[in-house]
Structure 1
């Protein structure tokens, strides 16, 4: 990421600090958790750091393993952690800057760490768990290019994996081969934080059916929910594959899901709520008699994380804006028989949505 991109994001963060009457904000990266917001603001992608942004300074604290990396990746002032804990080191910087009201992410901090924060630095800690997600929600053009590249690599890897798949391959083997193909393509691999979903036969009725040793059998189908990560950004795709022959029931259901996704995409526009878009797809599925079998929301935002704002669901109160990137993934799941889902990623522009994942056809693939 360019240092100029960091400057623009820091300027927006500082605008939020002023609006919220905060002197600064502290972000913690521990054991690789919460690296997404750190890289978004600073460019740094190590697994341990404290980022402190005040109205005048930006500081990155890390240990000796990452000093060279931090200085090369980030324009922040890099401070060596030394023998101190991250919280202790951050507290010293907070006292040096004489900050009094500091935002933090309660959703990303354990109770033990919060107690250390209170003990080491008795400032007024203000939970602003929503601050970075809101800043990260609207994607810049360079972010969109990375998501689009992730989608292209995912499409190619999926088709290559299908080319060698067949009856007798296990769900786990398919997932592992797909992950390998992604890495060979130049992607970082899959999502990292989540396993791919590969669910065959009756197991396809599990919306989050992680791969097992179950083997693909003729006359069945399997559902694959997968994606690539490229330079930190992810895509999220779901496709269905028949083994040998295409079950007419599954074929008709697949056509319904594609129609529901198309209708939702037409409703995807600036100014509508995520709930309204969900309602469009859900109505078609309900009219076909499968309403109770659509057991999850229609979609979610993606970016540096697999699940980001905004929500596209019956509880999705977010009003959609230009620059939002969301999934649309209608699905139907029937216990004992199986299920299907069709998922694609869309970027919302002022003139309407674009399907980022268009490189991969939405057809019901068939292994011969």
Structure 2
């Protein structure tokens, strides 16, 4: 396990660089009762009472807090100054803000990104009273680009945490496939994943700690749904999409299995073709992704392989950022769309971002579907694959 303050200290150094690059004097995180999700990520601690963290481009950071919260902020080693208030923060806040006298004050609000939108309306109104509306309007800017980059561009420590999480996910898959048998229901297969999580003291990366992953028998309908009571039979394709949360980071890996009919030693040609097409599309997208590429460019490469294979176009994005959430901040690997905000797909991919790659064969009417999903980190040369690739369909013998 990584010390709880190692990553926050690394992220604060990253934040200082971003503030200087964008010529923003201060990022203010104003939070109470854990209302802003970015604060614990940045400093390893959350607020109980009203708190104001002033992160300054000169590296001298200030925390304004109640007496009861004071000690934990000292322990982080992040703040040059921790100032407390008794009943009202107003006087101490104005004193510190006036000393900084920021020309640009970044606030955590965003129209696009949830984690970049942690400042509540009530706290914004409180800021207007503290600073005055006129002064706030002159100096406020959105911190969304800074917050997004802090979340999307990982430190090596973060990548190491994610790598361990992915390894656990791979191990659980390996274990599950030694236990899956023909005749098991979707729920019974889901139970194997829950058992694997409990055994390794990790939790699901989506939903409640021990929720089922996605386990879909294709003939029963492919969708983001909970496993049902439908039992596997010979000839079934089963898709599994599973996330693990460990050390604060989340994997996202999908695998597909085929249940052999009596006398079969390999899947039918159409099923093999569907798998090989999905595999080729993932390979193409991984080969394409790299620093400076735009999200829609990566999407187009993976999508074309699926279409050239004779299958309908991918109904979702070819991939998405991963990190502290299953769908993290960063560049969207999806096509440009008319009459929509395409900024997320137009962004350039950066070094040390992490992605799930999943161009998918999706067909209706029980026709072969394939979902395979791999996790990567962006290096100077392109993508480093963090997951252990599924090279062929998992085959389950039905006796």
Structure having the higher strand fraction is 1
Deviation at 1:4, TM superposition (A): 6.2
C-alpha RMSD over aligned residues: 3.3
Aligned residues: 357
- Could you give the per-residue CA deviations for residues 32-65 of structure 1, whole angstroms, max 9, x where no partner exists? 6654x3344212367886533234223274795x
**Separation (CA, whole Å) in 1 of partners of 2:47 and 2:228:** 34
TM-score by length of 1: 0.82
Residue range with higher mean Cα deviation, 304-313 or 15-24: 15-24
By how many angstroms is 1:155 displaced? 0.8
Structure 1: gaps (5+ residues): none
For 2:187 and 2:168, locate their aligned partners in 1 and report how far apart those are by CA, in whole Å.
21
1:271 aligns with 2:327: no
- Indicate whether 1:57 and 2:61 are aligned: yes
2: CA distance, partners of 1:91 / 1:167? 69
Match of 1:146 among 161, 185, 192: 161
1-structure distance, mates of 2:353, 2:53? 26
Judged with a 3 Å threshold, the aligned counterparts in structure 2 of structure 1 residues 71 and 337 are, in CA distance, closer, same or farther, namely farther
Query: Within 5 A, what are the aligned runs for 1:287-298?
Result: 287-292=308-313, 294-298=314-318
Paired residue secondary structure (2:292): coil
In 2, Cα distance between equivalents of 1:366 and 1:90? 65
User: Which residues of 2 match residues 246-257 of structure 1 at below 5 A?
Assistant: 246=267, 248-257=269-278
Name which of structure 1's ranges 19-28 and 257-266 shifts more when overlaid on structure 2.
19-28
Q: Separation in 1 of the partners of 2:248 and 2:187?
A: 25
Is the CA contact (8 Å cut-off) linking 1:346 and 1:353 kept in structure 2?
yes
Displacement of 1:220: 1.9
The structure 1 residue matched to 2:254, chosen from 235, 238, 259, is 238
Q: Report the structure number with the largest CA radius of gyration.
A: 2
Correspondence for 2:281 among 253, 260, 269: 260
Change beyond 3 A, Cα 1:153–1:5: closer
Question: 1:104, 1:128 within 8 Å by CA — same for their partners in 2?
Answer: yes
**SS where residue 322 of structure 1 aligns?**
coil
Residue of 118, 121, 127 corresponding to 2:142: 127
Cα deviation for residue 234 of structure 1 reads: 1.7
Question: Are 1:155 and 2:184 matched, yes or no?
Answer: no
Task: Give the structure 2 partner of residue 348 of structure 1.
Answer: 378
Normalising by structure 2, what TM-score?
0.76
1:233–1:303 CA contact under 8 A, matched in 2: yes
Q: Within 5 Å, give how 1:1-368 maps onto structure 2.
A: 1=3, 3=5, 6-27=8-29, 34-35=36-37, 37-44=38-45, 51-55=53-57, 56-59=60-63, 61=65, 64=68, 72=75, 75-76=78-79, 89=89, 92-93=92-93, 95-98=95-98, 99=101, 101-107=104-110, 108=117, 109-122=119-132, 123-124=136-137, 125-187=140-202, 189-193=203-207, 196-206=213-223, 209-218=224-233, 219-245=235-261, 246=267, 248-292=269-313, 294-307=314-327, 308-315=329-336, 316-337=345-366, 339-358=369-388, 361-368=390-397
Aligned-residue offset at 1:263: 1.6
Q: Please give the alpha-carbon distance, in whole angstroms, between the structure 2 residues aligned to 1:81 and 1:244.
A: 69
